[in-house]
Amino acid sequence: MNLRLWTNPILGKSTRMSDNMPRIGKKRGVVGVIFREEKLLIIRRSLTVTAPGKLCLPGGTIEKGESEQFALVREMQEELAIDVEPIRLLWRSVTPWGTTLAWWLSALEPDVLPVPNPAEVSEYHWMDSREICNAREMLPSLPEFIQAIRAEEVRLDIAF
Ligand SMILES: Nc1nc2c([nH]c(=O)n2[C@H]2C[C@H](O)[C@@H](COP(=O)(O)OP(=O)(O)OP(=O)(O)O)O2)c(=O)[nH]1
């Protein structure tokens, strides 16, 4: 898909970055926090990307000039061929390698089936917090996010 010509179905167009966005790390990323029946959408990274085979949330790097919401919608299309609606920012974190991450609660229509793009995602799962905590091979940010929920640093409207 030619991303330069792709039109964001939710926002219609890219919006400008605001001045109060964090500039701590070299790179900025966004991840989608997508629930279905109290389970979280988790992907396994493909074997050809950085951190191959690790579990994490769908997401990716925010390109120059993109808003967080625009990058989120684009990445969900690229990785899983799904149209999501950004709802609200839940959390910000910084990876050990200096990438700042924005964690966006996002809505997905209930009957939509994600279709992984094998170049980026090998599989996806709907997982509850216990399954996530028992899983192996994940990016460190995933258990940190679960811990932030438990510490009520991240506020959700559902039990998780
Ligand atoms: N997608 C995703 N990335 C995460 C998570 N946690 C975490 O630390 N990251 C980091 C890994 C990368 O440094 C950065 C962006 O992720 P990515 O590798 O999926 O981004 P991308 O597809 O645009 O690829 P790249 O060009 O940045 O390598 O965020 C997570 O839960 N999901």
Name the residue with the closest Cα to ligand 1, atom 16: 60
Distances (CA, A) of 22 to 35, 56, 59, 72, 116: 26, 22, 18, 17, 30
Ligand 1 centroid – CA 82 distance (Å): 18
CATH number at residue 114: 3.90.79.10
Alpha-carbon distances, residue 112 vs 96, 101, 130, 152 (angstroms): 34, 26, 24, 30
Residue ranges making up the domain that contains 68: 28-150
Total number of domains in the chain: 1
Residue 13 has pLDDT above 50, yes or no: no
| 2: in domain | no
**pLDDT given at position 89:** 98
Section 16-43 average pLDDT: 77
Q: Does 63 fall in a domain?
A: yes
- The answer to the question of residue 5 being in a domain is no
Q: What is the pLDDT of residue 26?
A: 77
Q: Which ligand 1 atom is the nearest neighbour of the CA of 142? A: 31
Per the domain annotation, does 155 fall within a domain? no
Confidence of residue 124 (pLDDT cuts 50, 70, 90): very high
- Give residue 21's identity as a one-letter amino acid code: M
Residue 91 forms part of a structural domain: yes
Residue 111 placed within a domain: yes
